[in-house]
Structure 1
Amino acid sequence: MESVPTTTTVTTRPDRHGHEIRTASSACVAAIDAYYLQVLSYGRDRQVILQAPLHDPACSLANSLAAHFAASHRPSQFKSFLSAAAASLGSATSYERAVFRAISCLVGDEKDEDAALEMHFELLSEFPKDLVSLKRAQVLCFYLGRPDLSLKLVEQVLPHNEDQSYIYGMLAFQLLELGRMNEAEKAARKGFDINRHDLWSQHALCHVFQYECRYKEAVEFMETCSSSWTSCSSFMYTHNWWHVAVCYLEGESPICKVLEVYDHYIWKELQRSDAEPGEVYINALGLLIRIYTHGLTDCIVDRIMTLTDIFKKESTWGMEWLLDILALWALASMKEPKAEDLLKSMKSRIYLVSTKKQKKMQRAILLAEAVYEYGRGEYKKAFEILGPDFNAIDYKMIGASDEQLDVFTEVWYDVLLNIGQISKAIEEIEKQVSKRAGAPFLWSLLEKAYSMEGRADASDAAEKAKALRAACFS
């Protein structure tokens, strides 16, 4: 049964951040405020925003925010919400009009990501306490592969939000994506001190620990925080556990520890009635391909097969570029003919975006083609596609963090070793070891490469890996 406005008097009412909203309903504002909290806390109940237009169908902000949510979750509805928002602009406040302009560039017929980013800069310049619009703009920057612009956005509003929850997690993530780990750790700790349930600050701190090979610290910290994850979205819940599993894997813990996380905390999420399957699959596949590049294929074949059965269905394609690439690997590695169909679908899909974005996404297609060949065991073809100067960081446009892209670096090492480019492999692995000398897996990989080249220092690399492995979780 649809709700009705709690009052018929149209007036302006403040949201939780003090922005004026033109509405006849206090319940409409309450739904908007609830949505803000869900977005910032990565909550499971983001659909609460759909209640706001029910309480006041004429509220422009309610309809704008509902349009943005519906564009991803209920595509058949977003245009009606956007039209309703536009119809109410005449009586809307300046804040509501600014939000409408920014969102309409993201989801409307005139979708333009560059214009949307410009509109968000303008919006946040005038309304710097709007952390939900900041989060929306940062997500846009993430998919554009522009952490530099994302950092600029958060720095623009930080002076107005220095004591606010959630702002420091948003700052920390951009700093770590730009390699500024010391600053990222300080920001994440500050966010965590303000609100211990700020999942983005927790997540950013784990990123720092993981990058710096502080695996035991990362796992203990995340496991301590895990009781606060029960109400978060499927993505955030499984992604946080994905980080824990990758720490175990990079620290070369027994594979049973990694698979325990996969089975009980990632895959099991699908048993929840309110789970978002696509959000689970991206972390499930992201972990399985990582296990695969570590040479532990035998123990995960059945799990890969389960996922290939899912991704043989074309209805599962097109949710995320990263997810499609990971699914492509799974299908190809199991010799599924549907892998080729998925690759063709990805190639055709880039023509649905602007000409400017098409050029950027051509690089994503190259990565997809290489991963397809890698999955099929065609290592030479994968090498020819990627070229001799491959750098995974150049592929951020697929919507992946540095940590998520690392698996493609591991694919690269595997390709080099399999085609006999041992010297090149050693060069690349040693480059990574110089940055992350505390990672046992990298030393084990170096031992393998040295041994293949007949070098005497292979035993030294093996001893280093063994010592680090013992120290990681002692």
Structure 2
Amino acid sequence: MLEDAQGLEVTTDSKAAIAAINSFIDQALSYGKEAEAVIHQGIAADPNCAIIRAYAAAYYLSQENAQAWKQAKPHLQVAQQQLTKITDREQLYVQAIAAWAEAKIERAIAIHEALTEKYPRDLISVQQGQYHYFYLGDQQRLLAIAQKVLPANRDNHYLYGMVAFGLEQCHRLPEAEAMGRIATSMNRHDPWAHHAVAHVMETQGRIDEGIAWMESLADTWENCNSMLYTHNWWHIALYYLEQGNAAKVLALYDSHVWGRAQKSSPKDQVGAIALLLRLELQGFDVEQRWQQLSAYLLPRLHEHALPFQDLHYIYALARAERHDWLKQMWESLQQHTLKINPFLRRQWSEIAIPCARGMIAHAKGNYSEAVNQLQPVLPKLSQIGGSHAQRELFEQVYRDALSRTQKPASNLLSA
């Protein structure tokens, strides 16, 4: 039995496995690009180490695509075979990842909460709890799960960044900025803390400050995975869009957003779609880029990892006039809604389905239908996850459709 860098016991006698675990913890909390590589180093050092296998499964589940989900299963099976031989913390963690793999998100969350009570130094568990709360639109608990372990982690800048994002999502902007700046002062290489402060500045309309803040730290993102690298540059692009500098935004799209994306990554695809749509709503021609991006969406048609993401894919397919793929995805989305477990079903049936109808209608130029479908669901959209900045896109689509039907905008959230 050895301890990891968090001071938590791990059922292994391999120091090489512990070194890999420590590297993985740092990679995961910093959104590093070597996470997959280091976890496989750990597996090579101790193939039967349950926590390493569970980390591998969690890594693949977080990729939100069918191929990665298949990769998660054998690692999870090995971890579950070790359940009677490992510590209480490791058992709980393996069970949380197993629940995630089965889409039993309410059970996964309950276990992560139990882990934070018993083992507040386990920041990987906290991070994954925040992930689930984010895509349930539960901002208060997203903040609370990180805040409650702060007394046990005063020395850890990563947790300050996690708390900062939770504060921002709960509209506690001055506190969020202060926490994000503390994290960055503790370690300049904390991209999630940078991201939290970027949200604050964007919300407060501090556009020039936001550009200066993010661009002054952008050199540290070279070690990030493509998701956070492209997402942080996406935030910079939004600032320039606020300035009306479309040429700069298009240049950033081509060089740092889609240009640096892992083209098969759902999160990278969503960010690129959201930026193209924002540009188009401001009157800029991006038709060729719709064609280029949508070519990578075929694997997404039947996955339905998250309703927030499906709404982006289905718009891009409609806008690129990929009629066959659009038809397949729309039919598959409706079938998925009937099969998903009851805890998640409301997200899909009451919010995602009508919102998808509205997004398709807008993409096809049927603006009255877009208004009719989007208006009732706008007040509920927080329940399908995404940040405030990301969900603002749907309101922009609604406003655009409304303006094209020459209706007053005063009733935006009256439904």
Query: TM-score when scaled to structure 1?
Result: 0.81
Query: Percent identity among equivalent residues?
Result: 30
Distance 1:80 1:263 in 2: 37
1:276 shift after superposition: 5.3
1:330 shift after superposition: 2.2
Name the counterpart of 1:325. 311
Distance 1:327 1:83 in 2: 32
Choose 1 or 2 for highest CA Rg: 1
What secondary structure is seen at the aligned counterpart in 1 of 2:69? coil
Name the counterpart of 2:93. 99
1:69 shift after superposition: 2.1
The alignment status of 1:29 with 2:18, answered yes or no, reads yes
Name the counterpart of 2:191. 199
C-alpha distance after superposition, 1:312-336 (max 9, x if no partner): 5666864543333222222222333
Name the counterpart of 1:149. 141
Alignment of 1:56-455 (within 5 A): 56-72=46-62, 74-108=68-102, 111-252=103-244, 254-270=245-261, 277-296=265-284, 298=285, 300-311=286-297, 318=304, 320-337=306-323, 338-362=325-349, 363-387=351-375, 389-391=376-378, 394-422=380-408, 425-426=409-410, 428=412
C-alpha distance 163-260 of structure 1, shift in aligned 2 (>3 A): same
1:126 shift after superposition: 0.7
Query: TM-score when scaled to structure 2?
Result: 0.92
* Worse-superposed segment, 19-28 or 81-90: 81-90
Q: Which amino acid aligns with 2:26?
A: L
1:154 shift after superposition: 1.0
Alignment of 1:454-473 (within 5 A): none
Matched pairs, number: 407
8 A Cα contact 1:14 1:21, kept in partner: yes
Distance 1:317 1:57 in 2: 30
8 A Cα contact 1:328 1:368, kept in partner: yes
Where do 5+ consecutive residues of structure 2 fail to align? none
8 A Cα contact 2:95 2:111, kept in partner: yes
C-alpha distance after superposition, 1:347-392 (max 9, x if no partner): 22223421221122211121111100010011111122224x5535
What secondary structure is seen at the aligned counterpart in 1 of 2:141? helix
C-alpha distance after superposition, 1:78-125 (max 9, x if no partner): 3322222222222212221222222222125xx421111111111111
Where do 5+ consecutive residues of structure 1 fail to align? 1-11, 432-474
8 A Cα contact 2:177 2:197, kept in partner: yes
* Worse-superposed segment, 54-63 or 210-219: 54-63
Q: Which amino acid aligns with 2:271?
A: N
8 A Cα contact 1:278 1:319, kept in partner: no
* Worse-superposed segment, 74-83 or 93-102: 74-83
Which one has more relative contact order, counting CA pairs under 8 Å at least 6 apart?
Answer: 2
What secondary structure is seen at the aligned counterpart in 1 of 2:260? helix
Distance 1:70 1:403 in 2: 26
Q: Which amino acid aligns with 1:395?
A: L
C-alpha distance 327-71 of structure 1, shift in aligned 2 (>3 A): closer
1:341 shift after superposition: 2.4
Distance 1:275 1:380 in 2: 34
